[in-house]
Structure formats: structure tokens, C-alpha cells
Structure 1
Amino acid sequence: MSSSEDMSEEPTAQVVLEASGIRKSFAGVHALRGVDFRLRAGEVHALVGENGAGKSTLIKVLTGVYQPDDGELRYLGEPVSFARPAAAQDAGISTVYQEVNLVPSMSVAHNLYLGREPRSRFGLVDFRGMRRDAGNLLEDLGIDVDPRRQLGSLGLGVQQMVAVARAVSTDARVVIMDEPTSSLEPREVETLFQLVRRLHERDVAVVYVSHRMEELFRICDAVTVLRDGRLVHSGPMYEMTRLELVATMLGRPLNEVRREGTTAFGGDHETGSTALLRATGLSRRGVLGAVDLSVKPGEVLGLGGLLGSGRSETVKGLVGLQSLDAGVIEVDGRTVRRGSAASAIRAGVVLVPEDRKAEGIIPHLSVRENIVLAALPRLSRAGIVSRARQDKVVATFMERLRIKASSPEQKVNELSGGNQQKVMLARWLAMSPKVLLLDEPTRGIDVGAKAEVQSLVDDLAEQGLGIVLVSSDLEELVEGADRIVVLKDGSSVAVLTGSDVSVDGVMSAIAEGGTDE
């Protein structure tokens, strides 16, 4: 990767990919409004903006998923028009999407070479050779996984690394990475950064989309900022501070962002003395050892720990989506039947899952249908669902959560990631829950949408909900939680309160694995 000094020494590096005056609209909504973008060889270029700013649309135009309504693309100096993603990939533009877009039922090796499998002289797939080549590639990239393993049996973080390895293996001139670290633990993030360095050394250009400021300022040479489908800034990364970048993304004065940045999300909520939700001895062989936790009304309880520590499995166990071998779950002092999602929902416990694409939204249904899905029985009389009551609920939550859509009838898969996340929140808030379980609620959404979700969580806690917050972002976890239960190897190893609710406190608890309560 180029440092700021490197960039000043190499101002004439070849422009490998250029977009000029790109426009794109959907159902009357302008996603891109005359956007320009220029990417140079060997450059790591950050593409940032709030959800709905046009980042994903621009990426899809660059890679042939969408055709622009107006404007021009040039690749290696020549005008191009990619009719489909395969054409862009064949030309040397490879994409790693935020949500892993591979085949979970196939092996790691087959996913790496899907569509370009090595063949024997008889034209048959050379599976042995494919596994050998896959093993060599993974070893070279520092990814420790058996190429024979079924991809779907691996964690999201490992699947993401396989997706990155596939992109790197295509000898691309351009690699586009859309939130590549959203599912990775720190060790895997370092492996990814090593891959980016290798791409830089080979003069491969990287478009890097991330909402993690530390990553952007650590590895990116240049930055392009989009807002409301328009280009608002493009230039060297070293010319901007973090606050300036956030202010540019939000379109707010710098002093206003600085003032807002001093107020931590979460804080000390007024909490009752009686646990609203209490879980003791949650266990499942090979997954959870012994997890204990409790949540009071108006409290935000954080679940900390590395990927694989059992955070997601714990919240899924609480809501009946993960079977448990043992343990007791109580809501308002009443026992909830283990392994029963219906029992959990009746008790008022709901979950917004980590993987919104696979476990949350129904992509081809409308925003309205996705929001009212869980609440339909409550909106019906004598078995007839009232459309008027649906519309009232949908209008209330679209306004409350500031969901950006052309109308309630717009397909939810046409929305930005942040707005899809808000639709999932709206679905479960429409059930008037007592306990809200949030698994990576701000994963892959921009600064503005993240702030809105965090503010909403704060408001819900003030209204008396008990909230369990899972986040891989330790700063977000610390700022958002009143207490933190730290998990390690499937067991709760510490409960942090007061001044111990800190990044250092969480890391120390993970490292030491002891208990302090």
C-alpha cells in the first residue's frame, strides 16, 4: 500500500478504471447523479458515504451488474460496457461483496474455482488438481482451512476470507472489496491487510468500501466520498482528518460533528433492580459451555468476545433458534421453553440477526410486507388482515426509523444495507417486545445510519426495554453497554461494570479468561 509520501512520488500512475458522469435511477429515485470516479494502478482507494449515498450502485455499475443511464466507463484507457458481471471479471475486475456470495453446499476448493474449474485431458473436472491448487493458494495467503470442507460448515469470517481468496486468485487488475472485514476477527483482519499489501506490490488497484475509520486511514491512499448519489469529495486520504471525513460524509459543519462526537451512545440508563431476562447455565455440546446473563428493564447488556466465542449462539439460544442441551431462560420470572422460537416471541424476546440477507429480510417482498410479517396475527380480526392497520404500522415505523424508500411497496432488496437493517428492526419493534436481542446491528452500515440505530437503541432502553447488544466493534460495544458479559470458548468468563466497561477491560477479560463477579 502506498503511504502519503508514495502517492506524492507517483502522481502519474496509470488510471486503470475511470467513471465519468455516471447516472442511475430506480423507480424514480436517483441513486447516482453524474458521479466521477478514478482509480490508479497499485492504489488502495476508499469509497465512502452514508447508506443510500450510492456506493453499492456505483460498484454494480463498474462491474456490469447495472447498466448506467448515462455516463462513460473506461478501463485501461479504453471505453467499455460490461453487459454482465462475468464480462467484468473476465476483463480483470473482481469483486468481494459484503455478504458472502458463494455456494455454501460446495467445498472451499470448488468455490475458489467455480466457473473456471481445472479440466483433465478428457474434459472432466480435475477435482484432485483443484484441491491441490486450492490448498496451495490458501496456504500462500495464510488462510488456515481445509479446501475439502463444505463452505457452509465454516464461520462467516472464514467464508469471507475464502471470498477474498477467490478474488485474488483471478489475476485481477482491479479488486473491489465491499465491507470485507465486517465478519472478521482481528487476526483475520491482519491477514486481509497482508493480502491488500500483496495486491499493491503487484500493482493491482483496490477499491475499499468500509465504515471503519481506523481501517480506511491505515490502508487507503485515496478517498472518494458520495452523498445522496453525488460526488462531494475525491483526493488523497492524508489530506483529511477523521472528523473532516465524517463531516464530509454527513454534509454537516465540522464543529457540529465534533460536538456530537463527544457524546457517547448508551450511557448509564436508569435500570430497575429486577432482571427482566435471566439465563443460567446455557450450554450446547461443542458450542456453548456455560453462559449466565441477566438484563434489567432499561439496560443495554453487551456481549463481548472474539468471533467463535459463542456470542451469536447465545442470542440465538435465547430466542429458540439454537437448540440447547441445558440451561434455564426466564422472562419476568416465568420460564421460557428452550428451543422454541414461538415461546420466546410470546414471552416478548425477539432477535435481529447478524446476517440480514440469509436470516432477516425476505428480499423479494416489499418494505411493507417485511415490516408486518411477524405482526400479521395481531393485525387481523376474525382471520382477516386489515390493510388499514398494516399501513398505519408501516407508516409509523418508516417515519420513526427514517427508512428511505420510494414507497412502502418498494422491494426491500432494492434498499441500501442500512435501510434493510432498519426494516428488520421495524418488523420486531412492531411486536412490542420486552427484550430486544441485537446481533451486530450496525454491521456494514454507514456512519449516519449507525448513529440512527444507536440513538434508537438508546431511546428503546429509556422506554424500559431490555437490550442485549452483540458487536465486534469494541468501541461501539463499550460506548453502548451499561454492563458487558465477556464470552470465551462458549462460556461467560467475566462481567464488567462501571469503570471496567472499557476496551482494555474486555481485552483483558478475553486474555485472562477469569471472572470478576
Structure 2
Amino acid sequence: MTALVELRDVTVAFPGVTALDRVSLSLYPGEVHALMGENGAGKSTVVKALNGVCPIDGGEILLDGRPVSLTGPSEAHAAGIATVFQDIHLGPKLNVVENVMLGHEVRGRFGINWSATRARAAEVLADLGLDDLDLNRGLDSLPPSVQQLVAIARAMVERPRVLLLDEPTSSLEPPDVQRLFRIVRSLRDRGVAIVFVSHFLEQVYAISDRMTVLRDGRVQGEFMTREIDRVELISRMLGRDIEALRQIGSQRRAHHQEPEGTPVIEARGLTQREEVEPTDLEVYRGEIVGLAGLRGSGRSELAALLTGITRPDGGTLLVEGKEVRFRNPGDALARHIVASVERRADLGIIGELSVADNILIGLQALRGWRHKVSKRERDEVLAWSVDNFGLGSVPMDRQAKFLSGGEQQRVLLARLFATRPVVMVLDEPTRGIDIAAKVELQSRIAKLVDKGMGIVFISSEFSEVVRMSDRIVVLKDRGKIGELSNGPGVTVDTIVEMIAADGVDDDHD
């Protein structure tokens, strides 16, 4: 079979980072090609290179065997390449017809021929099996799942030869996913080449024919989907050979003790629509509970529900056996429950404040604004932070937005420790810090657990989760699939195989 589109040694560089490093892949007509990899692997950059949003710095893109220059979306459209992004780029105040036909309205002598435009929109929707949609409905009155389908209909107006789907199922419920897949299979059977980007392994295995695995902007392999098992796929995504995974042993920590008494924090059926399936979780004083899962598993979303960053739609949250409702992180802080979030620039660090104020703001909020932290305590906290988080070279009066990512992470962690919490939810706490600081942090976590603190620990490095945790909760596709009591027999491979085995008997036709 001849490739419809080829990337040959494509390189894309941004200031300070190479997003794609000599990436080659082939897209064939009548085939769904999945791009796999963790965040930052280069998947979205491949999509942006193909739709002309991101010009390439090296290599070439070929269409029907001939080099093409895709320097903007218009060139991509002319080449027959259409894109549907995770963030739906539609007009919320426009109706279905206007959104489907935007930019492609049928025109007559006196401007837009709305009768013909409506007929063309109805034709496109019917062709996709969406003839049940009300053409007059405003987009903002439709659920996200239907909006996603409208976006696909809009992409198909020009009958493209290539369709790029970047996380199209991120906001869809299972029945909506199946409806989308029926449309994708229909387009595939008509000869459209489809690129499918998703974090959900079961969906990738259900819909794709071929996959390319990316890591750190480089291709780790191209496979027919039916020929690569989940363990090997996950291993390539994480950057570890499966044999190496088998050699990583469980390292029990000295502070380990069997849970007893009332959990310091407990979730019962805690859920959030389209983000977290109903989940049970208990964290006891004196233990670390690790959350392990790939991107899209729901690990960060569950952490947000535990700490008031987002509100649950259902279930119960208890602290020391008493039901609580956190409206915001301040409510959680009042209970001495704090969070280190992965997206620190969005939810943690306040860029306009100084480093000193970022460190002290949690402690001050806990005290209340009528009871200012004294100068003596302020100096003690800042001195302690400098000594324990490697902030000696960072001026305390510098605005936090000017710090590097690693420096911001250290400032955020210093803030959390300053509040003397009883529960800490740490989402990627060691990302961006050096080895010495990582060792110091892990040592401090162990000491705090010894004193009765409960820790929820999240890391994309499964080896770190195994090393730090007393119990490990494994998540996949927004839900909990199992729980492990850590011990000598638990390794990274144990977690990988658990994720890979879940759903292995599903129907992938």
C-alpha cells in the first residue's frame, strides 16, 4: 500500500527545546493511525505540523509521494487535511448549521443562500449518521459530546483525505465514544487516513489499525496495533525496557505500618462527571498511598477532588471519620489538608507575588488575615525553606513568575511544609528538582509520615511510586482498577502488567 502522507526526519524546535527530533511516520488511506506517548512526547506537535500550525525546521512532509509546504492551516486544507482539536474551536452562540458550514456557506447573487447552506449541512450530518441533530439548536445548548460531533462534521464539509483527531474523546462518556467510533470507522472504510491521539489505551486498541510511539520528541517504534501487547506499549512510552522493569524491586520504607483506626481522609464513591469514575480511597495516619496510572487515568483529577481544587458530583469525603464538603482549597487548608499540584503555574504558584509571599501565603491563610505572621516566624520559615529546598540563590523579593520550573516547584513545596499539614496530596512533587533536593524531599516525607501525617503521592515515574508508597492504588481510564499492598514482590512491572491486563478481554472489533 502506498502512503498518502509521510513525515521524513521531521524536526520542530522551540526556544530551549526540540519538540520533534527527526520523526518519520506514514499515514495510509483507510487506516486509523494512533500516536502514543506521555505528555510532552510530541504527539500534538506532529498534529500541528500536519495541519500547518507549526512549521517544520527540518525534514519534509510528502503528500502522494511529493513534498508539500504546510506553512499554515490554509495550505493544509488545500492538501485535504482537516483537524479536530481537544478544545473545540466552534462558535458557542451559533447554531448547528452555522457551525458546520462556517467559512463554507453556499453563496448566491445576494450573499449567503441559507436554504442551500442548510441543505448542505444536513447532507454532511446525515452522511455521518448525525441526521437526528436539530439544525437550529445553539451550540452552547448542546452537551460536550454533541459539540465534538459537530466539530467533526465541520471538518468533513470539504471531504478531506486526512482527518487529525487530537484527544477527541477526552470529554465523552462511553456511549458517546462508541458513537464517535462508528463515525471514525465509517470514514476509515471510505479511504480517509485518520490520525487518532488519545491517552486511553483501551480506546486506542479498539479503534486503531497502526500506532507510532513517541517519547521526548523521538519515535520509539511503529507497530500494527494487533501485534504489540499493552506491556510492551507502556514500556516504550515510559522509556524502560520490559526486562529492566522486571529488575526493579520493591523497597519497603522503615516507617511502614499496618493501617489502623479511622482513616485521616477517606473517599467513598467520590466522582466527577467525565473526569473521575466513582472511587473509594482511604489514607491512614503514618502511611503513604501512591496513585499510579498513565496520563488520562484520573490520578490528578482524583487528587483535585480530595483537596477542594474541584468539587465532586457525587460520593462522600470524610476527614477523621466526619463528612466534609470542600468548596475550595481554603476549606481543605482549614482542615490541614494541602496539595502540591502538577500544573503549578496555573493552580499553585502566584506569579505576581514575591518568592517570600508565595512561601508564606498558605501559613498566613491558615492563621487568618487578622493575625499576621510575625517577622520572627516569617524569618524562621524563610530561612528553613532556603536550607531545605535549595533556595539560597533565589532572591526572596523576586516575583515568582520569573523563576524556573524547578525553582517554582521548590517554592511550592516549601509553602506546603510551612503549614504543618496532617494530609499532603503531592502530584509530581519531584518533577523539575535535582537529585539532592529529591533525596531531601523524600527524606522529609518519610519523617513527616513517622509523625503521623498521611500522604497521597503521585508520580509519572512508577519506580518512585513503588519506592515511596505503603499502598498503591492503580488507576486507568478515569477510574480505580486495583490496589496493592507494597512489599518485596511489588515492582514497576507489577503496576504495568496490572494496567495492561485490565480490559484485555474487551471486544476490539
Report TM bin, short chain.
0.5 to 0.7
Q: Which residue of 1 aligns with 2:40?
A: 52
Matched, 1:37 2:45: no
Q: Quick check: 1:63–1:84 contact (8 Å CA) kept in 2? A: yes
Q: Deviations over 1:462-499 (max 9, x none)?
A: 59xxx99997444xx122599xxxxxxxxxxxxxxxxx
Matched, 1:100 2:88: yes
1:121/1:143 CA distance change after superposition, 3 Å: same
Q: Quick check: 1:243–1:258 contact (8 Å CA) kept in 2? A: no
1:238/1:469 CA distance change after superposition, 3 Å: closer
Q: Which residue of 2 aligns with 1:218?
A: 206
Identity of aligned residues (%): 34
Q: Which residue of 2 aligns with 1:479?
A: 482
What 5-or-longer segments of structure 2 have no aligned partner?
Answer: 271-277, 292-300, 365-372, 393-401, 428-457, 486-500, 504-509
TM alignment of 1:350-429, pairs within 5 A: 362=346, 377-378=361-362, 409=404
Indicate the SS of the match to 2:172: coil
Indicate the SS of the match to 1:112: helix
Q: Match of 1:223, as an amino acid?
A: M
Q: Deviations over 1:410-450 (max 9, x none)?
A: 7x9xxxxxxxxxx99996995356557899xxxxxxxxxx9
Q: Which has the larger radius of gyration?
A: 2
Q: Match of 2:416, as an amino acid?
A: M
Of 286, 299, 319, 2:308 maps to 319
Considering only aligned residues, what root-mean-square deviation do their CA atoms show, in Å? 5.7
Indicate the SS of the match to 2:169: coil
Q: Quick check: 1:300–1:469 contact (8 Å CA) kept in 2? A: no
Matched, 1:452 2:472: no
Indicate the SS of the match to 1:479: strand
Q: Which residue of 2 aligns with 1:229?
A: 217
1:62 Cα deviation from its structure 2 partner = 1.3
Q: Which residue of 2 aligns with 1:447?
A: none
Moved more, 83-92 or 37-46: 83-92
TM alignment of 1:53-202, pairs within 5 A: 53-118=41-106, 122-124=110-112, 126=114, 130=118, 133=121, 137=125, 140-142=128-130, 146-152=134-140, 154-202=142-190
Q: In 1, Cα distance between the equivalents of 2:154 and 2:357?
A: 37
1:64/1:394 CA distance change after superposition, 3 Å: farther
Moved more, 185-194 or 315-324: 315-324
What 5-or-longer segments of structure 1 have no aligned partner?
Answer: 1-11, 283-290, 303-311, 397-406, 413-422, 440-449, 483-501, 505-517
Structure 1 length normalisation: TM-score? 0.60
Q: Which residue of 2 aligns with 1:496?
A: none
Q: Match of 1:452, as an amino acid?
A: S
Q: In 1, Cα distance between the equivalents of 2:156 and 2:224?
A: 25
Q: Quick check: 1:367–1:409 contact (8 Å CA) kept in 2? A: no
Structure 2 length normalisation: TM-score? 0.61
Q: Which residue of 2 aligns with 1:252?
A: 240
- Provide the aligned length of Structure 1 versus Structure 2: 416
Q: Which residue of 1 aligns with 2:397?
A: none
Q: Quick check: 1:109–1:131 contact (8 Å CA) kept in 2? A: no
1:344/1:44 CA distance change after superposition, 3 Å: same
1:81 Cα deviation from its structure 2 partner = 1.6
1:220/1:295 CA distance change after superposition, 3 Å: closer
Q: In 1, Cα distance between the equivalents of 2:389 and 2:119?
A: 52
Q: In 2, Cα distance between the equivalents of 1:83 and 1:275?
A: 57
Matched, 1:23 2:11: yes
Q: Quick check: 2:80–2:160 contact (8 Å CA) kept in 1? A: yes
1:281 Cα deviation from its structure 2 partner = 13
Q: Match of 2:193, as an amino acid?
A: A
Q: In 2, Cα distance between the equivalents of 1:372 and 1:185?
A: 44
Q: Quick check: 2:105–2:117 contact (8 Å CA) kept in 1? A: no
Q: Which residue of 1 aligns with 2:416?
A: 431
Moved more, 250-259 or 210-219: 250-259
Q: In 2, Cα distance between the equivalents of 1:54 and 1:434?
A: 39
Q: Match of 1:244, as an amino acid?
A: E
1:125 Cα deviation from its structure 2 partner = 8.0
1:236 Cα deviation from its structure 2 partner = 2.9
1:70 Cα deviation from its structure 2 partner = 1.1
Q: In 1, Cα distance between the equivalents of 2:281 and 2:211?
A: 43
Q: Deviations over 1:258-308 (max 9, x none)?
A: 677999xxxx994442243579999xxxxxxxx998955358799xxxxxx
1:203 Cα deviation from its structure 2 partner = 0.4
1:394/1:367 CA distance change after superposition, 3 Å: farther
1:207 Cα deviation from its structure 2 partner = 1.0
Q: Quick check: 1:16–1:41 contact (8 Å CA) kept in 2? A: yes
1:26/1:367 CA distance change after superposition, 3 Å: farther
Q: Deviations over 1:207-261 (max 9, x none)?
A: 1222333333333222222232222322433332332333333343233446779
Moved more, 130-139 or 337-346: 130-139
Q: Deviations over 1:67-106 (max 9, x none)?
A: 1111111223332222222431343212222343444454
1:52 Cα deviation from its structure 2 partner = 2.4
Q: Match of 2:29, as an amino acid?
A: A
1:214/1:386 CA distance change after superposition, 3 Å: same
Q: Quick check: 1:138–1:145 contact (8 Å CA) kept in 2? A: no
Q: In 1, Cα distance between the equivalents of 2:112 and 2:74?
A: 22
1:438/1:393 CA distance change after superposition, 3 Å: closer
Q: In 2, Cα distance between the equivalents of 1:362 and 1:168?
A: 35
